[in-house]
Structure 1
Amino acid sequence: MKAIVCSKYGPPDVLQLKEVEKPVPKDNEVLVKIHAATVTMGDCELRSLKFSGVLKFLMRLGLGFRGPRKKYSILGQELAGEIEAIGNEVTLFKKGDPIFASTGFHFGGYAEYVCLPEDGTVAIKPDNMSYEEAAVVPTGGLEALHFLRAANIEKGQTILISGASGSIGTFAIQLAKYYGAEVTGVGNPNSLEIMKSIGADKVIDYTKEDFTKNGETYDVIFDVIGKSSFSSCIGSLNENGIYLLANPKMVLVNREKKAAKKTNKKYISGNMDDKEERIEQLNFLKELIEAGTLKSVIDKRYPLEQMVEAHSYVEKGGKTGNVVITI
């Protein structure tokens, strides 16, 4: 089968299109013929290993020091496709089922086929979405839902989403509106109209305005991209306000949490790692999609053979929504 292989860390051109052996499902696995995958900023960070300090060392320790070990060498953390075969013990899915899934740190999305555990973060694809639209949901949708639930976002609250034009941000806008919040989205100038079209009540062009200095305050501030800090946003939070940070710098987390404890405001960071929670949330997102509450925002599409170009585009920043790989 065709796959994009990353044998060393570096710029986009370390990604190579190769013929590799087609996987065979174990007893508890399903074999998926992949129709669409995605490129996220997280994928680019993994490929380049652009992490700092302790995190960089831990990533090398886990994935491989000079490059990803063979079992991690096919990147890609979210996908949509059709189940082609199932293991002997699989009961949740059958051959022919259309699915969408998050592979997490098992990766494998940049290929024609992948094997996934049946009890992984896998669900039947929403009826009203194409494979391309469904492929972008697991990472951005799950992250957005996880943080908004952690904040217990409620009707009538105000929330500012920084980085609202990306994968997580576009889902966060729609989910916050679903919960009844008043949403302000912060993004690049090219994304303002799209943010409005998916529900943002107000938008801020970050190239023209610093939301931490405009005098506005919010019940929740959700920094999707990790460009701010609790300390810089504390003046923009209401009494008992909550600061959410999706991509924290590890060296700052403890300091920020200590700073928050000295106030009446709350700091929440980190990703969900509970498997059952992820499966429940993916199915919840499916329900919202089929009800017409959520939709995917796609910026560009690239064929598998143009993975280098796709990574280059995402890595430079400024994408609106998601970048899809068609397979």
Structure 2
Amino acid sequence: MWKSRKSSIAKSKEKDDMKAIVYDKKNKTDFLVMREVEKPIVKADHVLVKIHNISLNAADYRSLKMGIVPDGRIMGADIAGVIEEVGGNVKKFKIGDSVFGDLSGCGFGGLAEYVAAPESVLASIPPSVSFETASALPMASVTALQAMRNLGNLQSGQNVLICGAGGGVGTFAVQLAKHFNANVTAICGRNNVETIKSLGADTVIDYSQEDFAKSTKRYDLVLVLNGNRSISSYRKVMSPKSTCVMSGGSLSQLLKFTILGPLLSIG
């Protein structure tokens, strides 16, 4: 978790400038460099947020690794901070409001002192939630919610298998599944077993000790997070009319799932 207050990113002496961590693909020693850049200009439907905390996601790392990040971009999607300026058409927020949100759909920009973002991608932080906690929520929690509720159509009493429960999305998925009164089996590494148990999973499988594909149990929803197993292995534990949702993983895995998934009949 990156905190602007405790980092070396201090206030710039120039009112209209700020410090930011910028992607420099020509830099031979470090692609991410700290620079003084122009402070964002606030559009009519945008707000200016002074960033207090930011969390980094796999999306940040993978974008850099794949080389698809434009030179000069300020990375960082999940932010939390305080609004310092509002555009003329903003209705939802006012100066001084504490907000958090996911900037991945509007150009990123979180690794900086300030960011200008559309009001539509931000939400208010409840008084009981810290900036640190709020900044860790947007991308991972929404991904988990969309997978379980929107795509998986999770219902109370259903059996759910969460593959990759130890990651950011997985830990939220376990808690959301229990919130929906599902019976949760979670797969993770040995170091995360106790943590996942504490989040409410009914059964936790250490993948180094047990192969879930050999189980006789069948699931109504299989959530695969950054999966590395064959599609047929997930099919083996699916019940008739069940759903398999995949999020993340290698490009080859995602392509196989997209192409072959619809061709595999269940039951």
Q: Matched residues in 2 for 1:185 and 1:9: separation?
A: 43
**C-alpha distance after superposition, 1:219-267 (max 9, x if no partner):** 111011132343221111111121110025555556535544444449x
Residue 39 of structure 1, aligned match among 52, 56, 61: 56
Equivalent residues of 1:78, 1:101 under 8 A apart: yes
- 1:208 is aligned to 209
SS in 1 for 2:232: helix
- 1:15 is aligned to 32
Give 1:127 shift.
Answer: 2.5
- 2:180 is aligned to 179
Q: Matched residues in 2 for 1:123 and 1:129: separation?
A: 12
Q: Matched residues in 1 for 2:26 and 2:216: separation?
A: 43
The equivalences for 1:33-112 within 5 A come to: 33-49=50-66, 60=68, 63=69, 68-70=70-72, 73-105=73-105, 106-112=107-113
Kindly indicate which of the two structures has a greater share of residues assigned to helix: 1
Q: Matched residues in 1 for 2:251 and 2:22: separation?
A: 28
- 2:168 is aligned to 167
**C-alpha distance after superposition, 1:36-72 (max 9, x if no partner):** 11111221111221xxxxxxxxx74xx4xxxx233xx
- 1:114 is aligned to 115
Give 1:174 shift.
Answer: 0.7
Equivalent residues of 1:161, 1:185 under 8 A apart: yes
Q: Matched residues in 1 for 2:28 and 2:128: separation?
A: 37
Equivalent residues of 1:10, 1:48 under 8 A apart: no
Greater relative contact order, per chain length (Cα 8 Å cut-off, separation 6+): 1
Q: Matched residues in 1 for 2:226 and 2:262: separation?
A: 23
Identity rate, percent: 38
Give 1:88 shift.
Answer: 1.8
- 2:4 is aligned to none
Q: Which runs of 5+ in 1 are unaligned?
A: 50-58, 267-327
Q: Matched residues in 2 for 1:44 and 1:118: separation?
A: 26
SS in 1 for 2:178: helix
The residue identity in structure 1 corresponding to 2:76 is G
State the number of aligned residues. Answer: 248
- 1:218 is aligned to 219
Q: Matched residues in 2 for 1:155 and 1:11: separation?
A: 53
Q: Matched residues in 2 for 1:202 and 1:231: separation?
A: 22
Q: Matched residues in 2 for 1:192 and 1:10: separation?
A: 40
User: What TM-score, normalized to structure 2?
Assistant: 0.85
SS in 2 for 1:16: strand
- 2:193 is aligned to 192
SS in 2 for 1:47: helix
**Alignment CA distance shift 1:165-1:108 (3 Å):** same
Equivalent residues of 1:240, 1:264 under 8 A apart: no
CA RMSD in angstroms comes to 2.3
Q: Matched residues in 2 for 1:11 and 1:192: separation?
A: 40
Q: Matched residues in 2 for 1:258 and 1:109: separation?
A: 35
Q: Matched residues in 2 for 1:137 and 1:228: separation?
A: 28
Equivalent residues of 1:30, 1:83 under 8 A apart: yes
The residue identity in structure 2 corresponding to 1:210 is D
SS in 2 for 1:174: helix
- 1:24 is aligned to 41
- 2:159 is aligned to 158
SS in 2 for 1:227: coil
Equivalent residues of 1:12, 1:47 under 8 A apart: no
Structure 1 position 237 matched with structure 2 position 235: no
Give 1:134 shift.
Answer: 0.6
**C-alpha distance after superposition, 1:257-302 (max 9, x if no partner):** 5544444449xxxxxxxxxxxxxxxxxxxxxxxxxxxxxxxxxxxx
**Alignment CA distance shift 1:265-1:110 (3 Å):** farther
The residue identity in structure 2 corresponding to 1:97 is D
Q: Which runs of 5+ in 2 are unaligned?
A: 1-17
